[in-house]
Structure 1
């Protein structure tokens, strides 16, 4: 498959339901986010490509001060609505930004990204967000695993990566990889039924 144009128009179409059923409103937090962050001391966190906010809201509920950033205004509107229902308004902020171009004026104790696809190659995106982690902080990447042995993937070229490709980004002495694994899990989607997700999970600690 060829590379999608993961620009603003693509994501607005993705996050805007075709009807009033609230297609993306009931998403639950990704279990990898829970497992990989629950032992960390809460501080500031960025959810890079937050979508409708499930992971950002879970982090805020667990005492993090969270910035959720996404290119889609529609997604952020739903996320802010959910946060208001929590209520977590004082612990959260939302930023409409193209993560391929955004230059934030701060860094965070925790930067997470969960199946996010900007309009640049996936590994370039991971390099960008790694720069947004403070020394002593943590980067958590959850992505779609590219597995050439599994046949044709429904993920477009450039949107999935291998575990080795990600870990090779963090070979310098000021990074330590704490989690590096692949996993397959089944989820149920209202429009697709049971879906198998092949995932890659990398958590890295930054020393300087």
Structure 2
């Protein structure tokens, strides 16, 4: 197991992004695309935006996006990708160590895609703040890995994977103010670096804020 001190979070992610080429595929997360394509564009907050694929996709669909990440290098790459896609004027980039600082304002869409980390992250606090940032009538979309890939024989680091019901309990969203629109486990193919074929399960929750 890899154990990393909490104060190393920014250094860890900065080193990862500075370590070579692109870290992610450059394509938007499929579950974001599935869950958001039917929504009317408005203002969006992309938490843990990385190199910006989700934010750029949202902007290309007409959203005004705030992209947030802990790594300056990731945000610089994201801004470059937005400019290349011709949507640089529709995205604002902010650096935050979520759980310590958080963007101001409210948003029609708050997206938290795979906010899971080998460095300590107060996930419950961050997702609670994410819910608070959703404007009335807006959407909170959370996608998290449900476990390790089927081919992963030993966990590379300590992480607690949520259950569908467990995250609902942790968020404690008032039923009179929120509607659960999606609560589902999705299985996708996954191939190990050595070429072993398998699968990985992801959980997806979509909530609609119906009241103040």
When the two structures are superposed, what TM-score results if normalisation uses the length of structure 2?
A: 0.84
**Where does structure 2 lack aligned partners over 5 or more consecutive residues?**
none
CA shift for structure 1 position 165: 1.2
Equivalent pair of 1:186/1:197 in contact (CA under 8 Å): yes
1:43 is matched with 42
Deviations 1:89-138 (A, max 9, x none): 11111001111122432110000011123743322221121111111110
Comparing 99-108 and 31-40, the one that deviates more? 99-108
Is the counterpart of residue 182 in structure 1 residue 185 in structure 2? yes
1:75 is matched with 74
Q: How well do the aligned residues superpose, as a CA RMSD in angstroms?
A: 2.6
1:96 is matched with 95
Is the counterpart of residue 163 in structure 1 residue 161 in structure 2? no
Q: 1:152 to 1:70 in 2, by over 3 A?
A: same
| Counterpart-to-counterpart distance in 2, 1:197 and 1:13 | 26
2:15 is matched with 13
Is the counterpart of residue 201 in structure 1 residue 204 in structure 2? yes
How many pairs are equivalent? Answer: 202
SS in 2 for 1:10: helix
Q: 1:120 to 1:24 in 2, by over 3 A?
A: closer
Q: 1:3 to 1:123 in 2, by over 3 A?
A: farther
CA shift for structure 1 position 45: 0.1
1:128 is matched with 129
CA shift for structure 1 position 3: 6.6
Is the counterpart of residue 116 in structure 1 residue 115 in structure 2? yes
Equivalent pair of 1:17/1:23 in contact (CA under 8 Å): no
**Where does structure 1 lack aligned partners over 5 or more consecutive residues?**
none
SS in 1 for 2:103: coil
CA shift for structure 1 position 140: 0.2
| Counterpart-to-counterpart distance in 1, 2:30 and 2:124 | 23
| Counterpart-to-counterpart distance in 2, 1:7 and 1:132 | 23
SS in 2 for 1:182: strand
| Counterpart-to-counterpart distance in 1, 2:129 and 2:146 | 19
Deviations 1:74-101 (A, max 9, x none): 1101101100100111111100111112
Deviations 1:43-67 (A, max 9, x none): 0000011000111110000000000
Equivalent pair of 2:44/2:66 in contact (CA under 8 Å): yes
SS in 2 for 1:100: coil
SS in 1 for 2:125: helix
